[in-house]
Every structure is written in C-alpha cells, then in structure tokens.
Amino acid sequence: MGETSFSLTYEAEVVIPAEVNLCSAQVAGFAPNENKKLMEKQLNLLEKHRETATIRRYNREMRKREFVAGDLVLRKVVGNTRDTNAGKLAPSWEGPYRVTIIAGAEAYYLEDLEERPLRQPWNVHNLKKIYH
C-alpha cells in the first residue's frame, strides 16, 4: 500500500487601507484646549477625591463597638497595668468584666464578676465583647 500525503497551503493577503475614514465620537469631539482646561480642573480636585476615598475606606473598615449594661467584656492590658516581668508573651486582654453603666460617648464603667467596680471608666477601644 502506498502512502499519499495531502498538503494544503493557504496564502492570505493582508490589505491595510491607506486611509481609514472611521472616526469615533471621542476622536471627533476632541478639542486640545478644552482638554487642557479639564485636565487642570481634575488635577485641582485630585486631593479632594483622594481624601474622600481615604475617609470612605476608613469608615468601611471600622467596626463600631457598643455595649449595654450587663454585657461581658475583656479589658485591654495597658502600660500601667501590665506585669513587667511577663515579657512579650503576656496576655493582651484581661477579664472578664461586666458593663455596669454607660459613662458617656464610648466610655463604660465596669465591674468584675464578683461585683467589685473598677474606679475609672474605660474607652470602647480598650474593650472587647465576649460572646458566650
């Protein structure tokens, strides 16, 4: 049996027209002087847009913490209450404590579980709710 091979060759000729008369609306309506004025205006507003974006990102990432009387929370160990001999493996939170009174905007009075009140109010940023 004889083998036959078929070879097909296609040759395509690419033609690029010398002038293309297709024009988009953006190209047709482009005015260099007007564009320069608009770009300067956008540059002047750039800092405002950047600040707005930063505030939005901050607000989106912030979780608002609110407590009511009776909630159990952990209190952040701050510099003056930290055990200096414990080193870097010391616990960052202590408690649990119970919220007793809302002292004001984001401040709460606490008591331990034996109902001994703490002397000063604690800011909401130094408290973390315990979910049980």
Q: What range defines the domain where residue 51 resides?
A: 25-61
Output the CA angle 61-54-127, nearest 5 degrees.
35
Sign of CA dihedral 45, 49, 50, 52: positive
Domain boundary among 9, 39, 61: 61
pLDDT attached to residue 128: 92
* 123 lies in the same domain as 77: yes
Let me know if residue 117 belongs to a domain.
Answer: yes
The CATH number of whichever domain residue 96 belongs to comes to 2.30.30
* 78 lies in the same domain as 123: yes
Domain boundary among 41, 61, 81: 61
* Range from 23-27, 30-34, 121-125 carrying the lowest mean pLDDT: 23-27
Q: How far is the C-alpha of 16 from the C-alpha of 14, rounded, in Å?
A: 7
pLDDT attached to residue 14: 63
Q: How far is the C-alpha of 119 from the C-alpha of 111, rounded, in Å?
A: 9
Q: What is the pLDDT of residues 57-95, one digit of tens each?
A: 888 877 778 888 999 999 998 876 666 677 778 888 998
